[in-house]
Amino acid sequence: MTTVAIANQKGGVAKTTSVQALGVAMAERGRKVLLVDLDPQASLTWACGIDPDALEVSIHDVLLKRAKVADVLIVLDPPPPLADGAKEGRPGVVHLLPSTIDLAGAELHLLTKTGREYVLRKALAKVVDDYDVVLIDCPPSLGILTINGLTAADEVLIPLQCESLSQRGVGQLLDTIDDVRDYTNEHLRVRGAIATLFDGRTKLAHQVVEQVRREYGVEVLEPFVPKSVKVAEAPAKGRSILTHAPRSRSAEAYRELAALLLAKKGRRS
């Protein structure tokens, strides 16, 4: 089992899209996947077709110890297996630990608690062994919720929109990761960055990728995810890009990235 935090304090970098798409792509390959929505905006919950306003319990209740993870989980519709037979003898499963706007209050509550950085890790400890992969959608900030996500994770993936401001944010996030290693999770690894919303026609996009590789020593995983209106349409339909436009270039890129991440996981173990 591997727990991966997908984090970038800059908004609009396709972080939630990447969490959902990678989770579905892994489930296509027969994996059991848990998606954790750690953002008070509840974008991942909404993108999965769940109305956050209609939920009676959420991750907010888990962090405040009012509910157990198992009591809050939502079972999402499983994706069909890949036509190339890449699944490994069992159907894939995707579960969601949903969020609501109430999570913003949980963040304030945690600030007053001893051991506040470990709350998510302790809550997930009772269920993580039931999954092949846990993907945590961290909020677009470097606050206590993101610290919880990084403390609970084995690895970090950084969605990178190929523009100057996003590149600057990578350096700030790496500083936070160093702090997490020093104080709460010394084994946390940076798995790499995912170039999202990539426009290969522009010189800037290629420059940003090379600068991130050179200046920060972060591997930018390939293939890059191309910019597409289909990706923007999918959340409004409560679907991932793999379901909304399964043969689009963006969907295929996420499938290749998921296969790469699973292959690396297999070699490590």
- The pLDDT of 171-198, averaged and rounded, is 94
- The residue segments making up the domain with residue 194 are 2-268
- In the prediction, which pLDDT does 88 show? 58
CA pair distance 30, 240, nearest whole angstrom: 17
Give yes or no for residue 150 having a pLDDT over 80: yes
CA pair distance 254, 89, nearest whole angstrom: 22
CA dihedral 76, 78, 79, 84 (to 10 degrees): 150
CA atoms within 13 A on the CB side of 206: 4
Q: Is the pTM of this model over 0.85?
A: yes
Q: What percent of the chain has pLDDT over 70?
A: 94
Give yes or no for residue 176 having a pLDDT over 60: yes
- Give the chain's domain count: 1
Give yes or no for residue 204 having a pLDDT over 80: yes
Grade residue 112 by pLDDT with cuts at 50, 70 and 90: confident
Amino acid at residue number 148: N
Identify the CATH number of the domain in which residue 38 sits.
Answer: 3.40.50.300
Give yes or no for residue 86 having a pLDDT over 60: no
Give yes or no for residue 266 having a pLDDT over 60: no
64 in Cβ contact with 106 (< 8 Å): yes
- The pLDDT of 220-244, averaged and rounded, is 91
Average pLDDT, the chain: 91
Give yes or no for residue 158 having a pLDDT over 80: yes
Residue 258 tokens read as: 């998921």
* Segment 87-101, tens digit of pLDDT: 555 779 999 999 999
